[in-house]
Amino acid sequence: MLRRSLRIPAAGVAYLVTAAVSSSAVAHRPEEFADIGVTRTARAGPTAAPALVIAHRGASRYAPENTLAAVDAARRRGLIWVENDVQRTKDGQLVVIHDTTLERTTNAATVFPGRAPWRVGDFTAAEIARLDAGSWFGARFAGERVPTLDAYLRRLERNGQRLLLEIKAPGRYPGIEAGVVRELRARGWLDSAHVRSRLVIQSFSVACVKTVHALLPQVRTGILGAPAVSDLARYARFTDQINPPLSEASSRWLAAVHRLRGAHGRPLEVYAWDVAKNTNRRSVRARGIEGIIE
């Protein structure tokens, strides 16, 4: 997920969006998907329930983003849903990191001084495992590592948390969608319980979301951004949520989104991001926005 400030510890909340299931499974009926915390009796209005919150890159206001420490910080603060960003290393391993380069959130420039611009995809998983991904945030997080997706999923499982997984910059990593599916399956995240209420997949890339839907038609998916109203009906065939910056979620646009049903037969949902720190969650929900990604 994009963030306007880069060096400042990220605000730690995000909203959830998607789910996945084995390609050999029978497609679920829409009513089989559990709600994810939104009160659906009042889509909008002054009595609407607060919008749901997801820990953006973990509780990244309190711990270095996209690390296991941020996952644990979210849990301590009662944030059950955690958002992350997944990319692929040179040797095909999946790691959890936001930027497509390593410089901002690790000491890659010190450890590998001759390898600028330190692109994630130019380093092996073993090389990335050597990096300190915590000191930039605070001395007490020195030695925190860039987690593999495998380690991240294990920690979420241990904590009883749920995942909004963003496939980051898929154009840089051809075939990453299939790799994500394999990893989720290997860690047991494609069973019916996870698909129903514990897993979400999203991307800024429409093509990526469409590919995920083709690989696993049962998965609930989300498109990041604010597509033109004229594109919404086409996207609704393979997605379940449209997740824009809050500033681009006009009343007219929201009405157009909510008139449509998504890939699994339920009304399209909206999870807004780029949300100011003190935004009132109840007022956001009253506008017809199910959740926020701060």
180-193 burial, b at 16+ Cβ within 10 Å, e below that, comes to bbebbbebebbeee
* Residue among 56, 213, 258, 264 flagged as catalytic: 56
What gap in Å lies between CA 282 and CA 289, rounded to an integer?
Answer: 10
What gap in Å lies between CA 294 and CA 291, rounded to an integer?
Answer: 10
Q: Could you tell me if 293 and 272 are in contact, meaning their C-beta atoms sit under 8 angstroms apart?
A: yes
Residue 98: active-site member: yes
The reply to whether omega before 244 is within 30° of 0 (cis) is no
Q: Could you tell me if 241 and 52 are in contact, meaning their C-beta atoms sit under 8 angstroms apart?
A: no
Closest CA to 233 of 212, 252, 260, 258: 260
Specify the long-range contacts of residues 33-37, CB closer than 8 Å, at least 24 apart: 33/195, 33/196, 33/197, 33/220, 33/264, 33/266, 34/196, 34/197, 36/81, 36/162, 36/197, 36/200, 37/81, 37/291
Strand 241-243 versus strand 221-224 pairing type:
parallel
* Residue among 28, 98, 213, 264 flagged as catalytic: 98
Residue 213: active-site member: no
* Positions marked catalytic: 56, 98
